[in-house]
Amino acid sequence: MFLFSIDGGENNKSSWQKRDEICDKYYSDIYKYCIVHADISCAADITNDVFELFFKKWEKLKNVNYKSWLYETASNLIKNHNKKHGHKIKKETYIDDIKAEAFSYDQNFEAIFDDISDAEIEAFKEKIFENLSERNRWLYKVKYIEKLSSAEISEILSISENAVNQKIFRLREKIKAQISNIIQK
């Protein structure tokens, strides 16, 4: 692949080098953004689409903030992707694991749920999930649904693994407290 056209001369070469430098500088940041705001399985594709558009529109992007343009484009592509594919964070049964742990000391805990329909339990899970912040819903999704390790999450967030474990612990405590509050009502 040529970095510049034969007829383009030095100006075209330096322009393309600048474009490549911008790509190198922001690619991992845009990828992390896509992981946080989209389904992790689609993040790489969306990131590649962002930079494909960047390459196509390069000549028209002379007086713009490149970083802002990349993030805005990523945001728009994520929204379009989610609309097109109907992606929503699933409220899987992983809350059941936390629920059981929260009341493991209570031998009659399961009896509490005997008289509750499956629909009521699903509504219960949804209520808990909706009460979480967007950041905690994302953390829940990647940890318990997509089964990422703390090390993988720390890499995505650019924080230590210990910090991730603290966030997961706090998330579990919030879910336990919500379960307790709902059951006590």
53-81 tens-digit pLDDT: 999 998 888 888 888 899 889 988 988 88
**From CA 171, how far away is CA 162, in angstroms rounded?**
14
pLDDT at 122: 75
pLDDT digits (tens, 9 = 90+) for 12-55: 668 888 888 998 999 988 888 888 777 777 888 999 999 999 99
CB within 8 Å of 32: residues ≥ 6 apart: 156, 157, 158
pLDDT digits (tens, 9 = 90+) for 135-160: 888 888 888 877 888 888 888 888 89
Q: What is the mean pLDDT of the chain?
A: 76
Candidates 1.10.1740, 2.40.128, 3.30.1490, 3.30.730; correct CATH number of 10-85? 1.10.1740
CB within 8 Å of 164: residues ≥ 6 apart: 150, 153, 154, 157
CATH architecture assigned to 94-184 = Orthogonal Bundle (1.10)
